[in-house]
């Protein structure tokens, strides 16, 4: 649904409930917040050897500024007559859609995050999905899964 309105020589085009002028303002506000509070995250990709197998080497793909946050995911398992549900934190990263589109990152790329406190290991998270929040093309919420290789004992 697209409509146009002309006000004193200024042309506004609406997309649903959001005008193009508001779209630019929202993008500017998010970019300002990312500049103020965001952190640069480096995305790494596993290199392949001559046979197309993972070589164990990581190469830097892109660096994107974003806001890290977590959401609750629910894990359920059933055992005969009863079931158990527990919450599990799902890492996410809020980024500008333009940064995501220009970055060239792909699913299964990794981000290594230095943790605060007594834990001396880096948290490794793997990209599993990307959602355009509100379908406005402004911001993308990247979803990750935590990589557990068995060596990260806290």
The alpha carbon of 140 is separated from its chain's Cα centroid by a whole number of angstroms, namely 6
Cβ-contact 43, 57 below 8 angstroms = no
Residue 152 above 60 pLDDT? Answer: no
Q: Token pair for residue 121? A: 């290991």
- Is 93 or 18 the better-scoring residue by pLDDT? 93
Order of strands across the sheet that contains 2-7: 2-7, 10-15, 18-19
pLDDT one-digit tens code per residue, 102-146:
999 999 999 998 877 767 778 899 999 999 987 888 889 999 998
Burial of 100: CB neighbours in 10 Å, binned 0-12, 13-18, 19+: buried
pTM above 0.75, yes or no: no
37-59 residue pLDDT tens: 999 999 999 988 888 887 889 99
Q: What is the pLDDT of residue 130?
A: 96
**Which residue in this structure is represented by tokens 């500017």?**
28
Hey, what are 11's tokens?
Answer: 């042309």
More confident residue, 73 or 58: 58
Q: Quote the percentage of the chain above a pLDDT of 70.
A: 74
Q: Is the pLDDT of residue 9 over 60?
A: no
3-state SS class at 33: helix
Residue 3's pLDDT band, with cuts at 50, 70 and 90, is very low
Asked if residue 101 has pLDDT above 90, the reply is: yes
When pLDDT is averaged across residues 71-78 and rounded to a whole number, the result is: 72
Residue 40 to residue 66: CA distance in whole angstroms: 6
54 within 8 A of 119, measured Cβ to Cβ: no
Q: What is the structure's pLDDT at 53?
A: 83
- Cα 135 from chain centre: 15
* pLDDT of amino acid 17: 58
Locate 86 and state its tokens: 């527990």
**pLDDT tops 60 at residue 4:** no
Closest CA to 143 of 114, 98, 117, 111: 111
Coil vs helix vs strand at 37 = helix
């Amino acid at each position: 649904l697209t409509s146009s309105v002309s006000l004193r020589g200024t042309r506004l085009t609406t997309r649903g409930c959001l005008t193009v002028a508001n779209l630019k303002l929202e993008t500017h506000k998010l970019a300002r917040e990312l500049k103020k509070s965001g952190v640069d995250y480096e995305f790494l990709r596993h290199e392949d050897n001559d046979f197309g197998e993972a070589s164990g080497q990581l190469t830097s793909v892109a660096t994107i500024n974003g806001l890290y946050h977590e959401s609750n995911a629910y894990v359920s398992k059933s055992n005969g007559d009863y079931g158990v549900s527990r919450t599990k934190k799902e890492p996410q990263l809020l980024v500008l859609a333009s940064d995501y589109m220009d970055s060239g990152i792909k699913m299964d790329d990794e981000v290594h995050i230095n943790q605060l406190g007594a834990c001396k290991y880096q948290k490794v998270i793997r990209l599993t999905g990307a959602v355009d929040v509100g379908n406005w093309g402004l911001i993308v919420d990247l979803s990750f899964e935590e990589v557990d290789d068995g060596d990260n004992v806290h």
